[in-house]
């Protein structure tokens, strides 16, 4: 066995961890279990509408950006000691969990893109640079190589226990987990065409796995649930930051322009969070989540030209690309290894990433009151934005970009922006509705128009990881778990005047979605007259439609935004209809395979197609460079399931309401009733429909038809419900893109899930032990036809027009 | 080259803070239960505190998932004893305490080789108690359905295992129908105390 060099410190930490843990337990307060009172703190649905006196008094924290430990060419990084800091001699890929094999080799199927799979190392890297096509720098017109145009950046992020007071009235600091000891984790600021290697080192007593949510990354680096970073170990996550290549169906595959770089899928607002098997919810609620922003040439151009808020050219620069990595003024004075504020790449004082999370805080101990064994979904009554309870932020009298993330475990948000005076009145009195019962904070109907009239408009510019094709005016935004909403608020217009010294205008970001348990928003969302319309988990803002939204009697305040100063003269130019980032719609003839997945409750846990998740069984095998349509069906019971599909963006083509869904659980084996679907696709506004999406809200009684292309990386990857408790309780499936189109009736027919993973351990470069052998169980003898049984027959693959 | 991020908070440099810990098991109702041998036990103090434990719900007349789950637990008992000896225990709690008296539970436990005390296998308690208390207990362990209709229907009860280590405060649950190897590997990973105990390889 090859000797593995693990830093001594890390090794010692691993050994020391167990006794240190128990010592810590002994040292704790009130530990003798008999003396230990039960948690008083539990979620109380009425408390979520209350605000403590100190709400909106703490300042918002904007997470720092980590500095790279090395910046260089492939030759300067590969096999070199010290690229993760001078105290860490271990080169890329030689830690316990290794690095993705795509770092050093070329998969065979990339021959289709013109690459030579026999090349290795630096030669292979140069080959990838040459063949992953180019993008265009919109300032200079210069060609930018999709793969590795900009030097590689290396980062080292320890996953640490950390302490933070969650509320001023909590008696103690809470024991949390943090990337680099920060909650939320530091914000990465990356660029398309710039490969990044992050060494995540686990120093906590919980197994971890890091998922870059929205990324198009190799399987090894994608946070597959059993591709762990174990206690005391490290994994090198390789994020190439490429835009996927798309097959041009009109050109023969061997022609030079058969593939082009699909810039419409350049990532913008990603986030990273824990994804470890069985423990994701525990790890995330304790703090393992952060933002990862990526800048494409197009987005930088929008900022440079002043379309999107920013400092123009100044917000398009990376000091490390200007050769200033050694400049001592970049370093944060208190936090070595982080940029001083204002010095980070693509610095933008008018762009705030905001992670919204809810937790229950046990005030006598200060700890997060989490229920490790609950699996309906965890709700909290203390609302956090970027780790601070009910913060406030002062902004200039101008357009401000807010990148909002619903980072909660099980709470669905309907976000609105209210003037502070309106908010406090509604907070005190509730919406004025004579029909509303006094004791019931959630009453349906009659008041939606009021919220609608009071809500301040904003421009929505993107959903999930991607910018929209054009900006659109909205007054509300529905974000299910893991969704992101990218918006620009024109405070200059909302305030409408110059604010003198001492003057300010206040706005409150609120959630009006009534929700009392992990099942999702109150079931009876429906407008009494037309149950086909709601609950529709999308923005609903159609002035001509006579519907009323179900919203809570009192808004839940999240954050205060204080506007000060005179109106700025030169503001961002984005307005309703401004074009941003066009996407390529997937057309009917591209689709070659249709699969159906039913998400339902079963045996006290969660299932897809009647099966529990098994990390060793493959549930779908798409062929790389083909397009599929997936039918995602909610199995009923009033549950909401936001479905997140790793690796690829998807487009929504149809959204249907299925009123027999609650009969489905029994009906599955014998076939599905299809006649009662009601198409509500036309109720969804254009961009909400087109996306792009990485997490689609599957509300109760709903069927979503989505389309996506599978590209670049071999599996395994997962898709799952992003109610994290459901995910941990096995509402998850694997899909494993493979390179070859397979003959029908073969075990690897894309319609039929083969029983085995097609590869597993070889996702790690040099077949180093990346994954634990004991987790790689023998595969059951019969092959899993669960997907095949529900299959709609595959269509012939489209032939190129000019063979 | 910039300083290593690590330096921000080097390993071991932070003094262990004395913040209170409340274990997850603090939520478990500490009710009086009786096992198949007629022993009175406090649920949290005697079955959970500082121990490794695997808990499931059952009722003796179940013709659905219980016999299968019982067979799985029989296998787990053997394999977990090999790994953890008597540091671990299995607890099967009845959902129908009105019917499942101590005698009934003892008879039932015989089907799974748990009718006698055994030194060569880890303890396996089949517990019953006061109906109201047992109901509170199962709710505190989240063995319930939010839909009252489903919750009242015994035949639709949870076929899940709740397992954890109270000392290290690590818990997880899994459907008992998950492939056996998965189940064993996961329980081992969650309740194990050292790297080797969890993963079967030296840390």
Least confident of A110-114, A166-170, A419-423, A735-739: A735-739
pLDDT of residue A749: 45
Per-residue model confidence (pLDDT) at position A58 = 97
* Whether the predicted pLDDT of B96 surpasses 50: yes
Window B:158-177, CB contacts with A under 8 Å? 158-160, 162, 164, 166-177
Secondary structure of residue A769 in the 3-state scheme: coil
**Binning pLDDT at 50, 70 and 90, where does residue B4 land?**
very low
CB within 8 Å: B186 and A278: yes
pLDDT recorded at residue B54: 98
Please report the pLDDT score of residue A661 as a whole number: 57
The confidence score (pLDDT) of residue A662 equals 56
- Find chain A residues with C-beta within 8 A of B172's C-beta: 278-279, 372, 728
Percent with pLDDT over 90 in chain A: 61
Give pLDDT, residue A775. Answer: 55
Q: Which two tokens stand for residue A367?
A: 């700890």
Q: How many CA atoms lie within 13 A of A53 on its CB side?
A: 1
DSSP B9-49: S-TTTSPPP------GGGGS---EEE-TT--EEEIIIIIIT
Mean pLDDT, residues A1-18 taken together: 37
- Contact assessment for residue A650 and residue A692, using Cβ atoms and an 8 Å cutoff: yes
Give how far Cα A351 sits from Cα of A303, A539, A574, Å.
Answer: 11, 22, 14
The pairing of strands A152-164 and A196-202 is parallel
Residue B91 has pLDDT above 80, yes or no: yes
**Lowest-confidence range among A250-259, A343-352, A606-615, B83-92?**
A250-259
What is the ipTM for the molecules in this complex? 0.91
Sequence-ordered strand ranges (E) for A503-660 = 505-511, 515-517, 520-521, 556-564, 591-602, 605-608, 626-634, 641-645, 651-658
- Put simply, the answer to whether A605 touches B189 (Cβ < 8 Å) is no
On chain A, the residues whose CB falls within 8 A of the CB of B91 are none
Nearest residue, CB atoms, A604 vs list B23, B24, B159: B159
B136 touches chain A (CB under 8 A): no
Question: B189: nearest CA in chain A?
Answer: A207
User: What is the rounded CA–CA span in Å between residue A131 and residue A638?
Assistant: 49
Residues of B in contact with A43 (CB under 8 A): none
Mean pLDDT to the nearest integer, A521-544 = 53
pLDDT for res A177:
97
Looking at residue B126, its pLDDT comes to 98
Instruction: Kindly report whether the peptide bond that precedes residue A716 is cis, defined as omega within 30 degrees of 0.
Output: yes
**Average pLDDT in the A748-759 region?**
46
Rounded CA separation A484/A564 (Å) = 27
pLDDT > 60? residue A228:
yes
pLDDT band at residue A673, thresholds of 50, 70 and 90?
very low
- To the nearest whole Å, the CA of B42 is away from the closest chain A CA by 10
pLDDT at A614: 85
pLDDT digits (tens, 9 = 90+) for B6-47: 334 434 444 567 888 888 998 899 999 999 999 999 999 999
* pLDDT bucket at A453, cuts 50 / 70 / 90: confident
- Residue A794 pLDDT greater than 80, yes or no: no
Rounded to an integer, the average pLDDT of A291-295 is 98
Percentage of residues in chain B having pLDDT higher than 90:
71
CA separation for the pair B151, B144 (Å, rounded):
6
Rounded Cα–Cα distance for residues B196 and A170 (Å): 38
B7 to chain A: closest CA residue: A336
Interface contact flag, A87 B6, Cβ < 8 Å: yes
A342 falls in which pLDDT band (50, 70, 90)? very high
pLDDT level of residue A25 (50, 70, 90 thresholds): very low
Average pLDDT of the residues in A233-255:
90
Q: What is the CA radius of gyration of chain A?
A: 26
Inter-chain residue contact B175 with A603, CB threshold 8 Å: yes
Q: 10 Å Cβ neighbour count for B71?
A: 14
Burial of A646 (0-12, 13-18, 19+ CB in 10 A): buried
Higher pLDDT, A277 or A375: A277
pLDDT digit string, tens, across residues A136-188:
999 899 999 999 999 999 999 999 999 999 999 999 999 999 999 999 999 99
Chain A residue with Cα closest to B155: A603
Whether the pLDDT of residue B144 is over 70: the answer is yes
Query: pTM of the entire structure?
Result: 0.90
Cα A280 to Cα A225: distance, rounded to the nearest angstrom: 9
Closest approach of B125 to chain A, Cα-based (Å): 20
Read off the pLDDT band of A540 (50, 70, 90).
Answer: low
What is the nearest CA distance from A771 to chain B, expressed in angstroms? 11
From residue A238, give the alpha-carbon distance in Å to each of A87, A649, A710, A763, B167: 21, 19, 19, 12, 36
pLDDT of residue A459 exceeding 80: yes
CA A549 to chain centre: 26
pLDDT(A116) > 60: yes
- pLDDT score of A442 more than 90: no
Of residues A618 and B196, more confidence is placed in B196
Buried b (16+ CB within 10 A) or exposed e, B84-112: beebbbbbbbbbbbeebebebbbebbeeb
CB pair distance less than 8 Å for A365 and B182: no
Provide the mean pLDDT of chain A. Answer: 83
Residues of chain A contacting residue B165, judged by C-beta atoms under 8 Å apart: none
Identify the pLDDT of residue A549. 64
pLDDT, residue A371, reads: 82
Average pLDDT, chain B: 89
B165 Cβ neighbours under 8 A, 6+ residues apart: B51, B52, B171, B190, B191, B192, B193
Give me the pLDDT at residue A332, please.
96
- The DSSP line for A455-479 is SPPEEEEEETTEEEEEEEEES-EEE
What's the CA dihedral at A9, A10, A11, A17 to 10 degrees?
A: 110
Distance CA A306, CA A568 (A): 13
Residue A617, pLDDT score: 77
Q: Which of B15, B22, B64 to mutate to test the interface with A (most CBs of A within 10 A)?
A: B22
Residue whose structure tokens are 């179900």 = A550
**Residue A283, Cβ density class (10 Å: 0-12 exposed, 13-18 middle, ≥19 buried):** buried
Of residues B56 and A741, the one with the higher pLDDT is B56
Tokens standing for A124?
Answer: 């292979």
Question: Which site among B1, B2, B66 would you substitute to test the A interface, given the most A Cβ atoms closer than 10 Å to its Cβ?
Answer: B2
Answer yes or no: is pLDDT of A616 > 90.
no
Kindly determine whether residue A365 and residue B16, on different chains, have CB atoms separated by under 8 Å: no
A542/B53: higher pLDDT: B53
Please answer yes or no on whether A33 and B23 come within 8 Å at the CB atom: yes
User: Mind telling me how many Å the CA of A155 is from chain B's nearest CA?
Assistant: 8
Contacts with A15 from chain B: Cβ below 8 Å? 203
Q: Of A124-133, A342-351, A424-433, where does mean pLDDT reach its minimum?
A: A424-433
User: Does position A346 have pLDDT exceeding 70, yes or no?
Assistant: yes
| Lowest model confidence (mean pLDDT) among A138-142, A266-270, A764-768 | A764-768
pLDDT of A594 reads: 85
Per CB-CB distance under 8 Å, the chain A contacts of B193 are: 18
Report CB contact under 8 Å: A13, B12.
yes
Q: What is the DSSP secondary structure assignment for residue B186, as one 8-state letter?
A: H
Could you tell me which chain B residue has the CA closest to the CA of A771?
Answer: B199
* B202 interfacial to chain A (CB closer than 8 Å): no
Tokens representing residue A290 in the block: 């952060």
Q: Which residues of B touch A320 (CB under 8 A)?
A: none
For A496, counting Cβ atoms within 10 Å of its Cβ (0-12 exposed, 13-18 middle, 19+ buried), the class is: exposed
pLDDT tops 70 at residue A382: yes
pLDDT at A38 over 70: no
The confidence score (pLDDT) of residue A237 equals: 97
Give the C-alpha separation, A734 to A717, whole Å.
6
- Spatial neighbors of A61 by CB under 8 A, at least 6 apart, are A386, A387, A388, A391
Please return the burial class of A35, using the count of CB atoms within 10 Å of its CB with bins 0-12, 13-18 and 19+. Answer: exposed
Distance between B135 CA and the closest CA of chain A, angstroms: 16
Helix (H) or strand (E) segment spanning residue A8: helix A8-27
Task: State how far residue B38 is from chain A, nearest Cα, in angstroms.
Answer: 23
Select the residue of A30, A155, A279 nearest B20 (Cβ to Cβ).
A30
pLDDT of residue A289 exceeding 90, the answer is yes
In angstroms, rounded to a whole number, what is the distance separating the alpha carbons of residues B118 and B114? 8
Contact A366 B203 (CB under 8 A): no
pLDDT for A268 equals 98
Band (pLDDT 50/70/90 cuts) for residue A791 is very low
How would residue B199 be classed by pLDDT, with cut points 50, 70 and 90?
confident
Would you say residue A2 has pLDDT above 60? no
Residue whose C-alpha is closest to residue B177's, from B81, B28, B71, B32: B71
Q: What is the pLDDT of residue A747?
A: 43
pLDDT tens readout for residues A551-571: 788 999 999 999 999 999 999
d(CA A267, CA A269): 6
Residue A437 phi, psi (nearest 5): -70, 145
- CB B2 to CB A331 under 8 A? yes
């Amino acid at each position: 066995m090859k000797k593995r060099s693990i830093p001594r410190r890390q090794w010692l930490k691993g050994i020391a961890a167990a006794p240190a843990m128990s010592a810590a337990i002994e040292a704790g307060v009130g530990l003798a279990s008999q003396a230990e009172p039960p948690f008083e703190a539990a979620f109380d649905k009425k408390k979520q509408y209350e605000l403590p006196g100190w709400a909106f008094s703490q300042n918002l924290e904007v997470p720092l950006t980590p500095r790279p430990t090395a910046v260089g060419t492939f030759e300067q990084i590969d096999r070199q000691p010290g690229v993760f800091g001078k105290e860490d001699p271990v080169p890329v890929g030689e830690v316990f969990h290794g690095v993705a094999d795509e770092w050093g080799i070329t998969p065979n199927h990339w021959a289709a893109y013109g690459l030579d799979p026999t090349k290795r190392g630096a030669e292979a890297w140069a080959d990838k640079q040459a063949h992953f096509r180019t993008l265009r720098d919109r300032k200079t017109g210069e060609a930018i190589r999709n793969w590795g145009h900009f030097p590689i950046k290396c980062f080292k992020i320890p996953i640490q226990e950390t302490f933070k007071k969650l509320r001023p009235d909590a008696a103690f600091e809470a024991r949390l987990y943090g990337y680099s000891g920060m909650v939320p984790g530091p914000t990465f600021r990356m660029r398309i065409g710039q490969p990044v290697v992050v060494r995540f080192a686990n120093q906590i007593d919980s197994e971890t796995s890091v998922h870059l949510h929205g990324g198009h990354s190799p399987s090894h680096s994608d946070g597959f649930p059993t591709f762990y970073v174990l206690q005391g170990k490290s994994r090198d996550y390789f994020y190439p930051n490429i835009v996927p290549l798309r097959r041009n169906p009109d050109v023969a595959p061997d022609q030079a322009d058969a593939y082009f770089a699909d810039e419409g899928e350049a990532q913008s607002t990603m986030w990273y969070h824990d994804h470890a098997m069985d423990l994701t919810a525990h790890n995330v609620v304790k703090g393992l989540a952060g933002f990862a922003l990526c800048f494409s040439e197009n987005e930088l151009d929008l900022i440079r030209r002043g379309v999107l808020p920013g400092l123009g050219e100044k917000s398009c620069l990376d000091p490390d690309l200007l050769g200033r990595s050694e400049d001592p003024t970049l370093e944060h004075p208190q936090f070595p290894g982080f940029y001083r504020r204002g010095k980070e790449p693509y610095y933008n004082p008018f762009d705030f990433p905001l992670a919204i999370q809810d937790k229950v805080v046990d005030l006598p101990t200060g700890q997060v009151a989490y229920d490790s064994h609950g699996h309906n979904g965890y709700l909290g009554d203390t609302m956090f934005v970027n780790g601070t309870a009910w913060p406030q932020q002062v902004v200039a009298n101008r357009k401000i970009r807010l990148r909002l993330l619903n980072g909660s475990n099980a709470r669905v948000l309907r976000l609105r922006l209210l003037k502070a005076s309106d908010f406090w009145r509604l907070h005190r009195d509730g919406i004025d509705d004579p029909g509303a019962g006094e004791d019931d904070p959630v009453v349906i109907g009659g008041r939606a128009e009021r919220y609608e009239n009071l809500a301040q408009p904003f421009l929505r510019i993107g959903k999930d990881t991607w910018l929209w094709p054009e900006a659109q005016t909205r007054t509300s935004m529905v974000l299910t778990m893991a969704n992101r909403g990218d918006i620009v608020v024109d405070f200059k217009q909302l305030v409408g005047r110059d604010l003198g010294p001492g003057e300010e205008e206040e706005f409150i970001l609120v959630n009006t979605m009534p929700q009392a348990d992990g099942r999702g928003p109150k079931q009876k969302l429906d407008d009494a007259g037309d149950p086909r319309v709601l609950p529709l988990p999308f923005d609903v803002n159609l002035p001509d439609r006579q519907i009323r939204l179900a919203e809570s009697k009192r808004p839940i305040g999240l954050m205060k935004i204080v506007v000060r100063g005179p109106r700025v003269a030169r503001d961002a130019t984005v307005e309703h209809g401004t074009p941003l980032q066009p996407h390529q719609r997937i057309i009917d003839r591209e689709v070659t395979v249709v699969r159906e997945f039913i998400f339902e409750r079963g045996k006290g846990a969660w299932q897809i197609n009647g099966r529990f998740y098994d990390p060793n069984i493959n549930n779908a095998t798409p062929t790389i460079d083909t397009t599929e349509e997936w039918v995602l069906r909610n199995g009923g019971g009033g549950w909401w399931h936001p479905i997140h599909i790793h690796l690829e963006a998807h487009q929504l083509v149809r959204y249907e309401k299925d009123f027999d869904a609650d009969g489905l659980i029994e009906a599955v084996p014998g076939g599905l009733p299809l006649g009662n679907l009601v198409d509500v696709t036309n109720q969804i506004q254009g961009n909400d429909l087109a996306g792009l999406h990485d997490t689609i809200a599957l509300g109760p009684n709903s069927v979503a038809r989505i389309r996506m292309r599978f590209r670049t990386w071999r599996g395994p990857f997962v898709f799952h419900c992003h109610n994290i408790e459901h995910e941990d309780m096995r509402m998850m499936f694997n899909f494993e893109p493979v390179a070859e189109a397979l003959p029908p009736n073969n075990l690897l027919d894309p319609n039929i899930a083969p029983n085995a993973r097609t590869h597993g351990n070889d996702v790690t470069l040099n077949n180093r032990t990346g994954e634990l052998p004991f987790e790689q169980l023998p595969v059951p003898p019969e092959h899993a036809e669960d997907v095949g049984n529900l299959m709609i027959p595959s269509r012939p693959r489209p032939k190129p027009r000019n063979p | 080259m910039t300083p290593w991020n690590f330096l921000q908070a080097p390993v071991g440099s932070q003094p262990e803070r004395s913040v209170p810990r409340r274990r997850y098991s603090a939520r478990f109702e500490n009710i009086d239960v009786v096992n198949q041998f007629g022993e009175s036990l406090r649920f949290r103090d005697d079955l959970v505190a500082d121990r490794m434990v695997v808990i499931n719900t059952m009722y003796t007349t179940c013709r659905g998932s219980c016999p299968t789950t019982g067979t799985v637990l029989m296998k787990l008992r053997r394999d977990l004893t090999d790994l953890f000896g008597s540091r671990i225990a299995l607890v099967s709690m009845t959902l129908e305490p009105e019917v499942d008296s101590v005698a009934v539970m003892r008879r039932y436990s015989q089907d799974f080789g748990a009718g006698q005390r055994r030194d060569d296998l880890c303890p396996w308690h089949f517990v019953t108690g006061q109906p109201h208390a047992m109901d509170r207990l199962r709710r505190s362990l989240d063995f319930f359905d939010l839909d009252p209709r489903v919750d009242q229907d015994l035949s639709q009860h949870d076929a899940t295992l709740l397992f954890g280590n109270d000392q290290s405060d690590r818990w997880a649950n899994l459907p008992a129908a998950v492939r056996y190897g998965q189940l064993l590997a996961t329980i081992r990973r969650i309740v194990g105390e050292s790297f080797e105990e969890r993963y079967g390889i030296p840390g």
